[in-house]
Amino acid sequence: MFLKRIELTGFKSFADRTELEFVRGITAVVGPNGSGKSNISDGIRWVLGEQSAKSLRGGNMQDIIFAGSDSRKAVNFGEVSLTLDNADKALPLDFSEVTVTRRVHRNGDSEYLINKQPCRLKDITELFMDTGIGREAYSIIGQGRIEEILSTRSEDRRGIFEEASGIVKYKSRKKEAQKKLEDTENNLLRIHDLVSELD
């Protein structure tokens, strides 16, 4: 699996639809300061489900929408699509190419799509879980991230190894199952209370 293409429309400094093709091997993006290089990696993390506006260097989520410039009016929505080559079926979908899209409107509405089909954020998070390319995964090493990893608490560092070893998905399912069990136990308690009241 590898990232083949990214398309940005109305996302940060990319007012018009901009498409970047990546090839196997190394692709370097070069440009002067402030030309939008980091906005590309912000776009990747955003599609993968980043929910923190701060970590995308904005105040709120609408800040990712192109805000206008001297020569251009602001736009009403921002959209980013990532297309991944899935010939090796590393993503559990029966498609040789997978495109994930995220769109946000000025009124706050947002949409997520997998191969143009609307889906939930959870579907995208689960799709990438344990593949190493989730929003918190180690495939995106931002400025200062290595220092952060080295200085972080050992529990947090362990999370990086868990993601790499592919067990995050199971931990997440375990957490969901435990929550359901807890809810069921609470419901049972309530039923017992009702039964003893009726007795």
Binding-site size, ligand ATP (CB under 6 A): 14
Instruction: Give 196's contacts (C-beta < 8 A, 6+ positions apart).
Output: none
Is 96 annotated to bind ligand? no
Q: Is 71 in the site for ligand ATP (CB under 6 A)?
A: no
What does DSSP assign to residue 106?
T
Among 44, 47, 50, 66, binds ligand ATP (CB under 6 A): 66
| Token representation of residue 117 | 């089909």
Gap between the Cα atoms of 93 and 127, Å rounded: 9
The answer to whether residue 60 forms part of the interface with ligand ATP (CB under 6 A) is no
3 to 42, contacts with ligand ATP by CB under 6 A? 12-13, 31, 33-39
Distance CA 80, CA 102 (A): 6
Stretch that binds ligand ATP, among 63-71, 105-113, 120-128, 186-194 (CB under 6 A): 63-71
Cβ neighbourhood burial of 22 (10 Å; 0-12, 13-18, 19+) = middle
Q: Which residue is at the shortest CB distance from ligand ATP?
A: 38
CB of 26 to ligand ATP, least distance (A): 18
Query: Which residue carries 């809810």 as its tokens?
Result: 183
Per CB under 6 A, 63 contacts ligand ATP: yes
Shortest Å distance, C-beta 156 to ligand ATP: 25
Q: Does the annotation place 31 within a ligand binding site?
A: no
| Residue 134 burial (C-beta neighbours within 10 Å; 0-12, 13-18, 19+) | buried
Which backbone phi and psi does 113 adopt, to 5 degrees?
-140, 145
Q: Is 108 annotated as a binding residue?
A: no
**CB nearer ligand ATP, residue 67 or residue 160:** 67
The residues binding ligand ATP (CB under 6 A) are 12-13, 31, 33-39, 63, 65-67
Binding-site sequence positions for ATP: 32-39
